[in-house]
């Protein structure tokens, strides 16, 4: 893992954007896995600006989300709504190039099987954009005694249920769909974005390089192509 430190999110986003843009230039059919939340937002804003400058850059880019809340009464607060606003519309990702979850699926086992099949036929992911959860989670891979390799439905911790994305929503989802640890670690390149003073404990565990299921992000040390970008506040 290559760890780089920045004094602010603007510089971190600039560095992360250069990685994505370089790969999109080299590989027009880039498969990009996208996290939601506050950490990757400055990166997505830079990609949106680049898409305005060069309308052809992302015209074949494909996108698969990292995770999705289950049980939201409306699309408000969903990862899909977030990605539609910050990635899909600005980068002009057409419906046939977006492999999203169906949080209203009647059978989540079948839904996860569908996502797994997409990854098998469209993957592997070229670049996986991740944020570091306050408790060390990646996507909805929460700290636990065991971690799941592939797409699965996860019971969310009370900590995750306080996420800023759903802070203003009275109904708090208790479950989420997420790519599994093997899905993430099969990516050709991983970009981990870390910002926020409240993540100090999670950062310390990550930097220790001690791998533990109680801090899923530490499993990124098993991957040989990880760029970890940290805003040191």
Q: Which residues are catalytic?
A: 67, 135, 137, 142
CB atoms within 10 A of CB 22: 10
Measured at the CA of 198, the angle between CA 197 and CA 200, to 5 degrees, comes to: 75
């Amino acid at each position: 893992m290559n760890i780089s430190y920045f004094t602010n999110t603007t510089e971190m986003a600039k560095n992360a954007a250069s990685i994505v843009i370089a790969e999109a230039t080299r590989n027009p059919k880039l498969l990009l896995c996208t996290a939601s939340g506050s950490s990757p937002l400055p990166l997505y804003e830079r990609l949106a600006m680049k898409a305005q400058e060069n309308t052809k850059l992302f015209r074949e880019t494909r996108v698969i989300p990292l995770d999705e809340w289950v049980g939201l009464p409306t699309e408000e607060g969903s990862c899909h709504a977030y990605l539609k606003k910050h990635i899909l519309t600005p980068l002009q990702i057409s419906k046939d190039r977006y492999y999203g979850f169906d949080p209203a699926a009647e059978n989540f086992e079948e839904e996860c099987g569908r996502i797994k099949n997409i990854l098998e036929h469209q993957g592997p992911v070229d670049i996986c954009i991740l944020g570091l959860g306050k408790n060390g989670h990646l996507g909805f891979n929460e700290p636990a005694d065991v971690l799941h390799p592939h797409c699965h439905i996860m019971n969310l911790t009370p900590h995750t249920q306080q996420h800023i994305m759903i802070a203003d929503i009275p109904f708090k989802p208790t479950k989420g769909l997420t790519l599994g640890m093997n899905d993430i670690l099969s990516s050709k390149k991983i970009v981990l974005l870390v910002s926020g003073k409240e993540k100090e404990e999670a950062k310390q565990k990550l930097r220790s390089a001690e791998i533990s299921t109680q801090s899923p992000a530490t499993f990124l040390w098993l991957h040989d192509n990880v760029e970890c970008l940290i805003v040191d506040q």
